[in-house]
Amino acid sequence: MPRLIDLSHAITPQMTLFPGTPAPVIAPLAAIATDGFAEQRLTLTSHTGTHVDAPAHLIAGAATLDVMPLRQFVGPALCIDVRHVADRRIGTEPLAAHATLIDKADFVVFHSGWSQRWARADYLDGFPLLSEDAARWLVGARLKGIGIDMISVDDVASAALPIHQILLGAGLLIIENLTRLDPLPTDRLFEFSCFPLPLTHADGSPVRAVARV
């Protein structure tokens, strides 16, 4: 029997955010006791929590999420364990070692173990980063996207965002702030989905990322 694994962080007003991102606001509008129904007002950015970056996030005139077909957000994925990479750098070596499986995948998900630091200050600093060569290698693999269990594919202090530029510039999706990657297999593919909200002109969107193993 296939198992569904939720890879998404809960959205709360106290959640971890990229520096400068406004905190979500979840405010009651109506209550069953007084109004006969319950409803809440939600205020949040398009890059809150576990979310997907569209190419339009950084590339002028590039595709927004709402113009992409639904098949862009689902497909076979490979999880690569990078918890023990040296010097915080994910190079091409682990990619080349899994080239046969990556060739059959639509997504590559990197398991760094960093999600264990969620809600801690050190979640925002010191996480492993893809090298530019690795990013270009992934572009050459003709994937739909890559996922990470970290706040960003670039250093939080980076202004140039080189890894974003390489991946988004090639039309790939970037799914950030994944969690609960421990149960994912690293020796075979699984089904991955990251459907965004149906927002118009969407440069990004929170997602309910799910693995079907």
Residues acting as catalytic residues:
57
Closest CA to 107 of 182, 166, 194: 194
* 3-state DSSP assignment of residue 137: helix
Find where tokens 């965002």 sit: 161
**Phi, psi (deg, nearest 5) at residue 110:** -100, 125
Task: Output the CA–CA distances (angstroms, integers) from residue 83 to 76, 110, 146, 149, in the order listed.
Answer: 22, 9, 16, 11
In sequence order, the 6+-apart residues with CB closer than 8 A to the CB of 174 are 52, 53, 145, 146, 147, 148, 153, 164, 167, 168
Mark out the alpha helices in the chain (DSSP H runs).
Answer: 32-35, 93-97, 99-102, 132-140, 162-169
